[in-house]
Amino acid sequence: MRRLAVLSLHSSPLLQPGSGDAGGMNVYVRELVASLAQAGVQSTVYVRRWRDDLPPVVNVEPGFRVVHVPAGPSSLTKEQLLSTVDEFTDFVIDDLRSDGDVDALHANYWLSGIAAHRIKHTLDLPLVSVFHTLARVKADTGDDEPQRRIDAEAEVIRCSDVIIANSRAEADQLEHYYHAEPSRGEVVPQGVDHARGRPPCSHGVQSRRTVKSRSAWARTAGVHDSTAASTLTTLTRRLRAGIIVAPG
């Protein structure tokens, strides 16, 4: 696999963690795509334009670029973004048609999942989904989400060719709450960027400062090179095996 379209509708890998809705997911996307680029996989991240003065395309590094998609007013809140999904999807389809083929779609979060589901069927591409959070799991803790989100997650899970879980516990939740097929699931644990955070050594005042300098989200949601390697291996193996047709 050498080209990947990454959908991250509501959270840009260019944003500083802690600003607006930026947090664990945008760190995950940034570090994953950067590591995949270093491994030779060209990746384009599609993000909804959240500010009117953003350039259409940002070339982050060789093999890693971000496309700012004009979809709805830039001032919308996260809760209002469902209304932009169709416009976002149309843009990505047109861009992929004009820019050439990609090997797979990688959707992050349920909003991107809705877009990727339609793109998958329109362009006949395999879909890899990672959800980061799940509505039915949140509801169990008293944090209810709209039924539209629950229905969308269930539909995307049924249609994804590969579903990535960040832990065995998340994989169990996908199977329990959404009846995800284990044969299409892959557990790819998140990692830690050891250049920014690591366990303190016995004399390590500096190490403790390093760890404290990052938020818990940024610390736990970073993607180590081995995580990117595992993701790449998973995607390549699945594609070569021809597991590219799922119901939905």
At 225, give phi and psi (nearest 5°).
-55, -35
- pTM (2 d.p.): 0.80
Contact 173, 137 (CB under 8 A): yes
- How do the pLDDT tens digits run along the chain, 248 residues long? 589 999 999 989 998 765 556 567 888 899 899 999 999 999 999 999 999 999 999 999 999 999 999 999 999 988 899 999 999 999 999 999 998 789 999 999 999 999 999 999 999 999 999 999 999 999 988 999 999 999 999 999 999 999 999 999 999 999 999 999 999 999 988 776 666 666 665 444 443 333 332 333 233 334 445 555 555 566 656 555 544 434 44
Give the residue from 211, 233, 207, 237 showing the smallest Cα distance to 222.
211
For the chain, domains (ranges, CATH) are 3-240 (3.40.50.2000)
Say if residue 66 is exposed, middle or buried (CB neighbours under 10 Å; 0-12, 13-18, 19+). Answer: buried
At 57, give phi and psi (nearest 5°).
-135, 140
Residue 187 DSSP code:
E
